Each structure stands twice: as C-alpha cells, then as structure tokens.
Amino acid sequence: MNATELRAAISLAFIYVFRMLGLFMVMPVIAVMATDYENYSIFLVGLAIGGYGLTQAFLQIPMGMLSDKFGRKPIIMLGLLMFCAGSIVAALADDMWWLIIGRVLQGAGAIAGAIMALAADVSRENQRAKVMAIIGIAIGFSFYLALLLGPIIGNNFGLSGIFAVTAVFAVICMPLLWWVVPNANNYAPSGDTLPKLTDLTAMIKNPQLLRLNVSVCLLHLMITLLFVQLPSMFVTAGMDLDKHWQLYLPILLLSIIGLAGLMSINRKHSGNLVLIVAVLLLVAAFSGFASFNGLWTLAICAVIFFTGFNYLEANFPAMVSNIAPAGKKGSAMGMYASFQFFGAFAGGLISGLLNQYFLPHLVFVVAILICLAWLVLLVGLNGNDQLKRYTLSAKVTIQQHPELKHKLAKLQGVHDITIVPEQQAVYLKVDTKLFDLRQAQQIVRTEFS
C-alpha cells in the first residue's frame, strides 16, 4: 500500500472503531445501571440495548445510496452528527424513554456502507482488499474493546458518562474524516461496495443469501438477548459491575483460542459441519445459562457462547461475499447488514418482553428453541463458493453490452458476468485455475476502451 492508502485505512478504521465503541460500550452495563432511571422496566432495557438496530436496519441501504449521489464524506459527516446527537440525548436522559430515543438516534448514523465505499474509492484495485481487511479487523476489535471499557467507564462516570464519551468520540471523528481521510480522486465502481435498489429483490429471492441473512439476524438476536440478562446474572453471582471487565478479558481471550480451534477444524472439513458445531455451542451455552449455578458456570458458558459467536460472526460475511453475483456484492452486503441490525433490535425486544411478562430464564429456553430451528436452516446452506472476483474498466455502451458479454463468456473459467455501462465497469466471478485474466483484459482493452 502507498502512503495515501495506508492513511485512508488507518483513519477510516479509527472512525469505525469509535462509532462501534459508542454502540456497544453500554451493552455490558445497561441492564444493571439503568435501574435508577424513571419508567425503568426490563422490557425498556431490552429496547434500549437493541434500539439502535432498528434505525440501522432501515437506513443502512438508503445512506449508502445517498453517498453515491451526494458524496461519501458529506453523508458520513451527516451520520456522525446523528450519532453524536443521539449520544447527547442519551447522556442527558433520566428517563428510559429518552434513553431509548437516544439509542435510536445513534443508530440513524448508518454509515457503514459509505465508509466502505470511501475506502474503495481511495485505494487501488490491487490494494483494496488490504484496506478492507484493516477496517474489518478494527470492527471485530471494537466489540471486544467495548466489553472491557464499558464497565470501567460506567463504574467511574455512570451510564450517562458512557454516552458522553461516545459523543466525544463522534466529535473526534469529524475532523479526522474531513482533514485526515484522503479525498477520492477516482471513484471505484460501486457495484461491489454499495447496494443498488434494483438488485435488492434478487438478493431476497436468492435462497443461499436468504439463509445467510436469516442466520446473521438470529446471531445478533442472540447477542443482544444475552446482554439483557448476563450483566445482572454476574452481579447476582457476586461480581460487582466495576470488576466485570476482569471477567470479560479472560472470557474473550479463551473464546479467541476456541475460535482458532474451530478455524483449524474448518480447514480439514468442508461443508457446514463447523457452522453446525458453532450453533450447537450456542445451544450448550444457553443450556448452562438456564441452570445458573454460580459465577464459574456463567464464565464457562460465556466462553462457549463467544467461541461459537465469534466463528459465525467471522465467517458469515465471507460467505455472503462468495455467494453474491458478480457486481452485486454491495447489494448483498447491504441486505446482510440490514438483517444483522434488525436481529440486534429483535433480540432486545424479545428478551425484554420475556423478562417483563414471563420468567427470566424462559429467555434461554426460547434461545435454545430458536437455535435448534436455525440448525435446520443451515443444513441447506452452501457457502463454499471459492470463485475469485475481478473488476475491469470498459468504456462500453448499452448497445455493445451483449457483444462484450458474449466474448467474455467464451473464456474458460468465467462463471458470472455483470456489465454496468454507467460505471464503465465489468464484474467477473471466475475459477482462477482455468481463467486467464490477460485474455479478458485484452478483449476489453482492444475492443471496448
């Protein structure tokens, strides 16, 4: 990577980390610390935990499309302003409903797609995967960091202090975005980074993508459902909130070791075996949580849960990327993100309702039943498409479109072709064992450039 690409990757990763910290830091503490708020109920706690997911789910795709029309930085800046406003509302809240409104406003800053598109715009095609990888690592790191920082900040400054810190993070991101993140001189074709409205119906009808979308919805339903319960269970088991980070740290480290073990097994066994094992780990964890036999039981079950969760969270996006048609990855990932965030909202809602009107441990029974139904869905999933993607530049008119597609389709190893004349882009999915990239480039360069 050159200096510009490295600066873009690091600065955009920081923006992503600060934003995700703001969404996640409250999760490990809110169930314990919100009890002093007016109109407190466990149902409203569930809404407060998952509330950001509702607006994220509905606005993720429109915000990405707006960045195509009005520019990346203005839309990202708008999202940061919404995120900051929601953090301030939540910080000033002394009532559960205002806390929920703040969380919903936080979620309205749905800028993930625009950030990824900007990362693509400021990087060369042969370096784009590295830039995306740096941002992806930062996203995963932010969740773990949030679990550790949330209890520490909450213990010292209260729940309102966490939201105040979050607002400060958003303010820090604004000059970082405007003056540190490089401006895009050349816009990358956006088919593989941003969703297109015309593609969404096809994405919904694709049975493999639908399985993955429902799966990530259920996965994030599980994580928010758990965090409505887990902090209070730790306190009941004798661990004060200010020490929860000391418990989360070894839990997360051990779960990462477990994740490495599952990854090793996956390299030796093709198919859905390890996916099914990961969901069975969630079932085992929820079974242990339901028994609630002390702190050690909770800690062991948390390690089991996060091992399964981490594996699924790491593998689902790669599977979506593999399955998505050529030139449609942006639409597939936009739909995937919407399902993911809706799952976060649904988990808070379901857990809150079950706690409020039924027995608290019924939450875990319902989670087990959902996971068992989920296993049936995974049996028919085939996400091991190992085809590679290429994007070629071609000044092709609509009239030349069929001719170019016909010539490229005759090449060995070509499985999928999408031509977008408006973007002057050709998207290919190919088997690299058979495909000759130079032949495709020659066809495009000599006849359509």
Q: Which two tokens stand for residue 291?
A: 């028994």
Q: Are 72 and 114 in contact (CB under 8 A)?
A: yes
Extract the tokens encoding 347: 């988990």
Q: What is the DSSP letter of 34?
A: G
CATH number, domain containing residue 27:
1.20.1250.20
Q: Tell whether 82 and 133 lie within a shared domain.
A: yes
442 burial class (0-12, 13-18, 19+ CB within 10 angstroms)?
Answer: exposed
Measured distance CA(183)–CA(287) in Å, rounded:
51
Domain residues for the domain of 410 are 388-447
Domain-located, residue 194: no
What gap in Å lies between CA 119 and CA 9, rounded to an integer? Answer: 7
If asked whether residues 110 and 161 sit together in one domain, one would say yes
Place of tokens 């091992």: 307
Say yes or no: 168 and 259 in one domain: no
Is residue 195 included in any domain, yes or no? no
Q: Cβ–Cβ contacts within 10 Å for residue 172, how many?
A: 14
Provide the pLDDT for residue 440.
82
| Residue 88 forms part of a structural domain | yes
Q: Does residue 334 contact residue 195 with C-beta atoms inside 8 Å?
A: yes
CATH number at residue 407: 3.30.70.100
CA distances from 147 to 21, 22, 56, 141, 365 (A): 9, 11, 21, 10, 25
Asked if the structure places residue 150 within a domain, the reply is yes
The helix/strand/coil state of 59 is helix
Task: Kindly state the tokens that stand for 216.
Answer: 């990530």
Which residue is associated with the tokens 């009890």? 35
CB atoms within 10 A of CB 397: 10
pLDDT along the chain (449 residues), means of 10: 87 92 92 92 93 93 88 93 96 95 94 88 81 84 92 93 95 94 74 79 87 95 93 91 92 94 85 90 95 88 95 88 82 90 94 87 93 91 72 77 80 83 81 83 73
Tell me, yes or no, whether 398 and 381 share the same domain. Answer: no
Q: What is the pLDDT of residue 322?
A: 81
Confirm whether 190 is domain-assigned: no
Distance of CA 220 to the CA centre of its chain: 9
* Domain count along the chain: 3
Q: Which two tokens stand for residue 105?
A: 């406003």
Q: What local confidence, expressed as pLDDT, does residue 97 receive?
A: 96
Of 386, 410, 435, the residue at which a domain comes to its end is 386
**Residue 190 near residue 69, CB atoms below 8 Å:** no
3-class SS of residue 393: strand
Give 3-state DSSP helix, strand, coil % of the chain, rounded to 5: 75, 5, 20
Contacts of 93 (CB under 8 A, 6+ apart): 37, 99, 101, 102, 160
Residue 207's CB is within 10 A of a number of other CB atoms, namely 9
Answering whether pTM is above 0.85, one says yes
State the pLDDT at residue 186. Answer: 60
In a domain? residue 191: no
Residue 193 lies in a domain: no
Residues 163 and 35 in one domain: yes
Same domain, yes or no: 409 and 286: no
Same domain, 355 and 310: yes
Q: Looking at the structure, do residues 169 and 252 belong to the same domain, yes or no?
A: no
